[in-house]
Structure 1
Amino acid sequence: MSLIEVVPGQVELVVGRSGALAPSVRLFDWSRADEYEFAFAVEAIDDGVRARIESVTVTVWDNMSEFFDGLARDFRGWEGERVWGNNNLVVTATFGSGGHVYLGWTLRSGFFPGDWNCTVTTVIEAGEEMTAVAAELRAFLREE
């Protein structure tokens, strides 16, 4: 995972392992609609499949950063599945053996018949790596 400055003032966040076939999710093209709402694009890649949502709108009440901060705080694990989501993006988190967090990123084009969805799973180490992802997400969302 890495937070990359593409051009001055514009960053993107890549979550996942490096490599051509490794699953990854890229958050980019962040913009603010007003003081309560922002949007960004999401691209998910896994084994030759690439899905993209041009605009995921998130409000300050959606608590996306808080969701990831909670995953980082609970580095010793938890039972069951945790879920964060909105209309176009759903993130699920499960704690697995070996101290890893499995993040399922589901991109959805809509809710009607004929609309598509794509889920890519990234695996993050529950300690320092998850803490880094949470911090980089806050930086990407401009919540530092």
Structure 2
Amino acid sequence: MSLVEMVPGQVELVVQGAGAAAASVRLFDRSQAEYEVAFGVEVVDDGVRARLEIVTVTVWDNMGAFFDGLARDFRGWEGERVWVNNHLVVTATFGSGGHVYLGWTLRSGFFPGDWSCTVTTVIEAGEGMTALAADVREFLHEQ
């Protein structure tokens, strides 16, 4: 994971597991209004690339809280945890070896013919998830 300041005040968050060929997710072009943050999302894995220019997350969506919960439960959990937004869905499962499998699904819409694309990043459950949760909060400008 890396939170990179592209130009003063404009940050980009890149989530990528270990290895050069690992899937990656990039959150970019963040803008903020009173109760929401809008940003672009791009996912890349094994020759597949999908991108949405605008995903809007409100303070009530609790995206940062979702990642904080994953970081707190570094010893694992049963089943799948899901965070859902109109155009972005993040699923989390705890796997062997103390890793969290994050599925990132981009959706262009909800109708027949609309596209969706899912990639999975693998993050270390302890320090890796703690760092990712902090980076997500910083990207979203959440306290």
TM-score tier after normalising by the smaller chain length:
over 0.9
- Greater shift after overlay, 132-141 or 16-25? 16-25
- Aligned residue runs from structure 1 range 120-135, under 5 A: 120-135=119-134
**In the alignment, is the contact (CA less than 8 A) between 1:21 and 1:48 conserved in 2?**
no
What residue in structure 2 maps to residue 84 of structure 1? 83
Q: SS of the counterpart of 2:136?
A: helix
Give the equivalent residue in structure 2 for 1:50: 49
Residue in structure 2 matched with residue 11 of structure 1 by the alignment: 11
- Give 1:1-144 correspondences, 5 Å limit: 1-17=1-17, 21-32=21-32, 34-144=33-143
- Bigger Cα displacement from structure 2, 17-26 vs 103-112: 17-26
- Secondary structure of 2:39's aligned partner: strand
Q: Structure 1: how far apart are the matches of 2:110 and 2:52?
A: 14
RMSD across aligned C-alpha pairs, in angstroms? 1.0
Q: Residue type matched to 1:37 in 2?
A: E
Normalised by the length of structure 2, the TM-score is: 0.97
1:6-49 deviation per Cα after TM superposition (whole angstroms, max 9, x unaligned): 011000000013665320000000001x3111100000000011
Q: Secondary structure at the match of 1:98?
A: coil
Percent identity between matched residues is 80
Provide structure 2 residue ranges, at least 5 long, that are not aligned to the other structure: none
Taking the aligned partners of 1:66 and 1:72, their CA distance within structure 2 comes to 10
* TM-score (norm. length: structure 1): 0.96
Number of residue-to-residue matches in the alignment: 143
